[in-house]
A and B are shown apart, each in its own frame.
Chain A
Amino acid sequence: MKQLFAVIGMNVRSIPQRAGMSIATITSVAFMVAVLLGFLAMANGFEKTINGSGSDDVAVFLRGGSQAEVNSVLAREDARLIEVAPGIATDESGDPIMSAELYVIVDGTKRSSQTEANLPLRGVQQQAVNLRQNFALTGGRMFEPGTAELVVGEGVIREFEGFDLGQTIRLGSNTWTIVGTFSTGGSVFDSEVWADLGVVQNLYQRGSSVQSLRARLTSPDAIEDVRAYVEGEDRLNLDVTSEREYFADSAGGIATLLKFVGWPLSIVMAIGAFAGAWNTMYSSVDSRTREIATLRTIGFSGFTAFMGTLIESLVLALLGGALAILVIYILFNGNSASTLGGGFTQIVFSFEVTLGSVISGLVLALSVGFLGGIIPGIRAARVPLLAVHQN
């Protein structure tokens, strides 16, 4: 072991002698890991937002076959029939905890690019706040029913211009006043703007129709009772899902897509990084041929020469991986971004560099280091002893 550590130490200490090539290898590994971590951070953040958005004990009702809120239309009658369905929870005064909601797409200006992007304006009833986990007003107050007042999610404020508390904003042909800001702990609803249902119905000429109904269930299992009720009621043509299932179906695929883009792209870059590591390690062995031959002449084994080269390659790869993790963490972790969600509107989420992503990045970096060092390592182990006489 002493000889092994001595040779590894010599190899690692000699890295600055090949600074140019070593830096190129570190950089190429860093780029590869950075791309992977970037995509994974995006996917993790998006997934967290989606997963944090749905509850098992909230049922979402949409018109049968509509799949997304934006395609759905429900009549006032539907809401009345749902109110009496078994399994719907009630508040202290015996009223069902449910909210009929209208979902309208409006334009907002993104702070980062100054371009227009879709934003969901949701008309809600008073119980809406009780149907979102972790709902909290973070500034101002709730809108007054019957007025053109808005409360705005924190994600919207971060990503879009003109939604600060107290401002007035023109959405389409209507002018609104922002009277409050809210947070739902980073869920999809933080990317929404809320107003009174009746006002939205009037201003957007939707009559008494809504697009979705949300209702608190007495328990997660009660969803089956509600389904049975809806299927048995001829006047209803609705799809019933738990809110968690709804978000998983409508937007969860995007997180998977991000991961499926991130990995292949990183693997393509890994081929380049591998070639760089290989080249650097060949150069390392070539430049130290006489040193390696001298050590073996003294009595050091070929295995130590192999391991010295391999570990040097792994160290370079590890440095590249660590650099990427540091940069991605500092630049992206917790940063806000938005992407198109299931309802053709922007979902604001935060990049999240997780321990799992970091481990994936390091494993990829070390794999490149291992593959890049193994053949040069074998070459080092086979350096002819007669090279000891080289000048």
Chain B
Amino acid sequence: MTDQQPLYQLRDLSKTYTRGKESISIFKGLDMDIQHGDFIAIMGPSGSGKTTLLNQLGGIDSPSSGQVVFEGKRIDNLSQGALAKWRSRNVGFIFQFYNLMPTLSAAQNVELPLLLTGLSGGERKKRVKTALEIVGIADRAGHKPRQLSGGQQQRVAIARAIVADPKILLADEPTGDLDRTTADEILGMLQQLNTELGKTIVMVTHDPSAAKYAKRELYLDKGEFVERGNRS
């Protein structure tokens, strides 16, 4: 692998859902490259397929046709087990509703991806601490999600997404459940992860002011991409 090779190459990607006898095409013939260090905001109206596209990138849904190539290797034809392994090594997910485990503390939530690695308990603790420090919430390590505000929960979720040092962060409406001020803090943090730590990020949002934090803004409508802005 070289830096010149795109992280992702989407080729002729189509997704169709079948409802009864009716086929609904979400997108058709999409082509897209995502480079290392990109921070892409994908925008579009509801039902345009933003989240569906994110699911293809994250290997949690398979395309109806076309290819998803990651670092030169197709992932769209991997088995469920192989995809699970691939996700654990390469992808960090950030969700709109944080998706933290309510019975675990912040630190335990962050540790989850590391349980899939061969790291020792001591090493895992060290990494969890570092991740929580990066997102500025190390003082809440022992708190359960219900004891944290929405913004704090999303910080924990970001720490969980980065703790295993994945190659890509996929964020689905990461500020959709937050007030403006908190949203700006979270988006600033994602921007910092991109600029300072070189994390590649693909973020789905319908909020134009959130998209401004990304280097590239792609608009997905009627199954096609339109590039709105490129600040890279």
Contact = CB atoms under 8 A, between A and B. Distances in A.
B116 A388 contact: no
A391 B177 CA distance: 11
Contacts of B172: 389
Nearest to A298: B113
B226 interface: no
A218 interface: no
B103 A298 contact: no
A386 B88 contact: no
Contact of B60 (A3, A14, A302, A386): A386
Interface residues of B, number: 27
Contacts of B58: 297
B148 interface: no
Given A297-B58, A300-B84, A386-B60, A6 B112 contact: yes
Given A6-B115, A385-B60, A388-B93, A299 B101 contact: no
Number of chain A interface residues as a range:
20 to 34
B82 to A, nearest CB: 11
A294 B116 contact: no
B223 to A, nearest CB: 19
Nearest to B160: A298
Contacts of A295: 101, 112
B116 A3 contact: yes
Interface in A1-18: 2-3, 6, 10, 13-14, 17
A239 to B, nearest CB: 70
Contacts of A298: 87-88, 93, 112-113, 116, 160
A297 B94 CA distance: 11
B55 interface: yes
A3 B95 contact: no
Interface centre among A2, A297, A300 (most CB of B within 10 A): A297
A294 B161 CA distance: 12
B61 interface: yes
Contacts of B112: 6, 295, 298, 300
A385 B109 CA distance: 18
B55 A386 contact: yes
A6 B99 CA distance: 16
B70 interface: no
Contact of B51 (A297, A299, A302, A389): A389
A334 to B, nearest CB: 41
Interface in A296-349: 296-302
A17 B55 CA distance: 30
B95 A389 contact: yes
Interface in A232-281: none
A388 B60 CA distance: 9
A389 B61 CA distance: 12
B101 A291 contact: yes
B3 to A, nearest CB: 26
A48 interface: no
B116 A300 contact: yes
A282 B88 CA distance: 27
Interface string A352-391: 0000000000000000000000000000000001101101
A298 B58 CA distance: 10
A302 B96 CA distance: 24
Contacts of A291: 99, 101-102
B84 A301 contact: yes
Given A298-B112, A299-B89, A301-B81, 18 more contacts: A3-B116, A6-B112, A13-B103, A17-B102, A17-B103, A290-B99, A294-B93, A295-B112, A296-B84, A298-B93, A299-B116, A385-B55, A388-B93, A388-B99, A389-B51, A389-B95, A389-B172, A391-B97
28 contacts: A3-B116, A6-B115, A10-B101, A10-B103, A10-B104, A13-B103, A14-B102, A17-B102, A17-B103, A290-B99, A291-B101, A291-B102, A294-B93, A294-B101, A295-B112, A298-B113, A299-B88, A299-B116, A301-B84, A385-B55, A385-B61, A386-B55, A386-B60, A386-B61, A388-B93, A389-B51, A389-B95, A391-B97
